[in-house]
Amino acid sequence: DIVNVDFDYFDLNPDVDFHATKTFITQLLGDDAGEIDVSGLADLMLSQNSVGTTIKTEGQESDPFAMLTVLNINEHITKAPMKKLTDYVLSKSKKQTEFNLVLRKLLGKNGKVGLIFSERMINMPVEVVPPMYKMLLEEMEKAEDAHEKYEFDYFLIVSKVYKLVAAKEEEVQRSKKKKNSDPQEQMDYFHYEDIILEQNAKYHGVFDFTNEKQDTDSRRVFTEYGIDPKLSLILIEKDQLAKSVPEMELKFPPF
């Protein structure tokens, strides 16, 4: 059966979207959500933020199915929720020395870095994303004209990818073969727009989560493989983000 659904785009609503925003942050960071102040970060996103979009199907008062927004990292760097998040990002990226050094320089008080937060329900089509990014760029441009604090040189995107891992009873045999072409060595994307963002990024990296409370076999998909999620960090320049949006529209055209 085919079910027709109308996706409506709304501004962020602090009176309605708090619990959904917390859920999205927790979903994105998985077992590492406890490393940051999820409630405090959700408050920052909603209370001061006039830039961003949610997608809903049952009116403005309903829960969002997707969310995209940006926060001024440097403006809020001394606030506990942002400090916890930036400390977490810096600790995870330290294995990529050059990336880490650039982040440390940019994430000070004098930097101009926007934190892009993008998350959605697992079955939401990627085609809803390009319009959200297009609206985000337009809103930031209007905010810049009004001398608001959305004039960024770089954007940091915290995202998530995954690796397919063979079921436990097969892992020993497969590890002995050590074949690079084995499916468990291949990375895939929860957010397919990240492929374009990575191609245009100044730096990007994939890192293990600090906490793994759930083994990969319990995250089984509809195949013989489990899912091993990884943290993805993307640092992209302002002009390159603007370039990425038309590329998203071409690759993921609207319905």
133, part of any domain: yes
Nearest-10 crossing angle of helices 80-93, 97-106: 160
| Total count of residues recorded for the chain | 255
Reported confidence tier of residue 220, pLDDT bands at 50, 70, 90 = very low
Q: Is the pLDDT of residue 139 over 80?
A: yes
Among residues 2, 82, 102, the alpha carbon closest in space to that of 42 is found at 82
Query: What is the rounded average pLDDT of the residues 127-150?
Result: 89
Considering the domain boundaries, does residue 112 fall inside one? Answer: yes
The pLDDT assigned to 226 comes to 76
pLDDT at position 172 is 47
Better pLDDT: 46 or 169? 46
Does position 169 have pLDDT exceeding 60, yes or no?
Answer: no
Give the pLDDT confidence of 146-158 residue by residue, as tens digits: 677 889 999 999 9
Model pLDDT for residues 10-28, shown as the tens digit of each residue: 999 999 999 999 999 999 9
For 93-120, what is the mean pLDDT? 93
Residue 69 domain-assigned? yes
209 touches 230 (CB < 8 A): yes
Judged by DSSP in three states, 121 sits in coil
CA–CA distances in Å: residue 43 to residues 65, 133, 190: 19, 22, 25
Give the total number of structural domains in the chain. 1
Helix (H, G, I), strand (E, B) or coil at 151: coil
The answer to whether residue 176 sits within a structural domain is no
Average pLDDT of the segment spanning 80-95: 96
For position 74, what pLDDT does the model report? 93
177 within a domain of the structure (yes/no): no
What domain range is 64 assigned to? 8-169+182-251
Question: Residue 184: which pLDDT band, with cuts at 50, 70 and 90?
Answer: very low
pLDDT given at position 239: 97
Q: Is residue 3 part of a domain?
A: no
Domain membership of residue 238 (yes or no) is: yes
> Does residue 17 belong to any structural domain of this protein?
yes
Segment among 48-52, 130-134, 153-157, 223-227 with least mean pLDDT: 223-227
Alpha helices by DSSP H, the chain: 18-29, 38-47, 80-93, 97-106, 129-145, 168-177, 193-199, 238-251
Q: What is the arithmetic mean of pLDDT over 184-202?
A: 88
Mean pLDDT of 221-228: 65
Query: Is the pLDDT score of 180 beyond 80?
Result: no
The reply to whether the predicted model has a pTM over 0.95 is: no
Provide the pLDDT for residue 224: 62
Q: What is the pLDDT of residue 100?
A: 95
What CATH number is associated with residue 187? Answer: 3.40.630
Nearest to 246 by CA among 191, 190, 200: 200
CA distances, 71 to each of 8, 74, 227, 237 (Å):
23, 9, 30, 15
Mean pLDDT of 119-141: 94
* pLDDT attached to residue 228: 87
Banded model confidence at residue 175, pLDDT cuts 50, 70, 90 = low
Per the prediction, the chain carries an average pLDDT of 86
